[in-house]
A and B are shown apart, each in its own frame.
Chain A
Amino acid sequence: MRNPKLLEVRGLRAAYGATQVLHGIDFELEAGRITALLGANGAGKTTTLRALCQTVRTSGSVLFDGEQLVGKATENVVRLGVAHVPDGRGTFTALSVEENLRLGAHVRRDKAAVARDIDKAYARFPRLGERRRQQAGTLSGGEQQMLAISRALMLAPKLLLLDEPSFGLAPRIVTEIFHIMRSINREDQVSMLLVEQNASLALDLADHAYLLETGRVALSGPSERIQHDESVRKAYLGY
């Protein structure tokens, strides 16, 4: 049985100034699933996430839960329930860990539920709880990534966009974070769109994957098929 579509992207194009980066890509996301976006450097993975959040000039169609996102202001896309963990993590470095989390829930009005979710974040990543009063810029890379994911979850999003959560982290931390991402997907039914350079890691976690090549979708399919198709692996993933 297929889940209902949460996101339907058609002919998505994006450009930085005169440089066209996405040349019309199509993909869709099923609700409740983890979808991976793979590809080499410069394929347009990060730009795709930025295009969904409208932080880059975009054309085409992005239907999220029936609403057209193209042309909306970033903050209004976010208010529909799209949380973005950007590349570079987007930490508010001069604010405390707890203030970062409270900001994640900026658009929510239910104070009790927000307080519960902050406790939940500390239960999920105890190290954040230990450092709740600490200036976020002093956290280690792994802790900042935990904070970035927790901050995004504070929105109580329907869709979580993750830009290379493994970037620059020790393998042990990456394993821990990916493990928790899986449990967030299963327990809280948060759909995820995961951008990763580390393809084998991403395919282990994701249900479905798209391969981008210089701004176009080169291939798509269930993760298992991509993982086990040797020619695909050699041609596109390089392992």
Chain B
Amino acid sequence: MDAFLHQIFSGLANGCIYGSVALALVMIYQATHHINFAQGEMATFSTFIAWALIQSGWPYWGAFLATVAISFAGGLLVQRIILRPVERAPVLTNVIVFIGLLVIFNSLAGWIFEHTIKAFPSPFPQESLLRTRFFSAHEVGSIVVMLCVLFALYAFFRYTPIGLAMRAAAQNPDSARLVGIRVSWMLAVGWGLAAAIGAVAGMMVAPIVYLDPNMMAGILLYGFAAALLGGIDNPWGAVLGGFIVGVLENLLGAYVIGTELKLTVALVLIVGILTLKPSGLFGKHVVTRV
């Protein structure tokens, strides 16, 4: 029974990482209706930046905040420089650009930081108060960090004028321009936020899976499954989807199909959801009267 509970709780901890990745995907999907396939590699690259900062003597949380800020600026610049020229291009063009970005960030990470696997520190020491019977300190800590990110995002979109403008631009870009919103910049801010969320996810997962240029490849798949499960246009759904995928993956891995086949859970989920219920569990249902 203890082992069973432990599987569930560690699934929840993984799930919060998947949820953050899903949240980053949703952030860009809502504004552009594109899935950013490079999200994982961008997060990995951010994590390398954090690693380099920590190596050069920065305190953990200083490096953490600096990485989030650098990632935000980086995401913003990627949109301005690389995505803006293809803003009106067909979906396939964008997909190609995303794959290009994926390869570029992956190769850059390998080229600059080398392919050797690196240990990444956790800010939550194992012998701290955070440690409980079923959770390690790092698991509790990363869940807390992710909930903070979630509430900060919620407050941003709900209560700030720029958050409102971003929602408007995502929903009805033509009308948004007619009230003077710079829609293209709103997309850039969305990219910045997605990159920052990805960076947090990367830094939280790196102590568990170790840091290398391909660190996020599998996690992006789980994140994608989580986003689809929760409804690709629903941030709360994405996070909840992350928890569900995390627990499901762990339980199936431990008791049904074995750890080697765990990643297939994500793939089966993706195919299953897309064929059976494309809007996901909590996909947005907008009531409109004409």
Contacts and interface: CB of A to CB of B under 8 A. Distances in A.
A103 B179 contact: yes
A102 B161 contact: yes
A93 B178 contact: no
A156 to B, nearest CB: 12
Interface residues of A, number: 31
Interface in B177-204: 177-183
Interface of A: 53, 55, 73-75, 78-79, 83-84, 86, 90-95, 99, 102-104, 106-107, 135, 137-141, 151, 154-155
Given A102-B161, A137-B288, A140-B289, A90 B182 contact: no
20 contacts: A74-B178, A78-B178, A78-B179, A91-B172, A91-B175, A93-B286, A95-B168, A103-B168, A103-B181, A106-B161, A106-B179, A106-B181, A107-B179, A137-B289, A138-B287, A139-B289, A141-B289, A151-B179, A154-B179, A155-B180
A138 B286 CA distance: 9
B263 interface: no
A138 B289 contact: yes
Contacts of B165: 103, 106
Contacts, number: 81
Contact of B175 (A90, A107, A138, A141): A90
B171 interface: yes
Nearest to A154: B179
Size category, B interface: 20 to 34
Given A93-B288, A138-B287, A140-B289, A86 B167 contact: no
A135 B284 CA distance: 13
Interface of B: 161, 164-165, 167-168, 171-172, 174-183, 284, 286-290
Contact of A92 (B161, B172, B183, B287): B172
A102 B164 contact: yes
A151 B172 CA distance: 14
A75 B181 CA distance: 6
Contacts of B286: 93-94, 135, 137
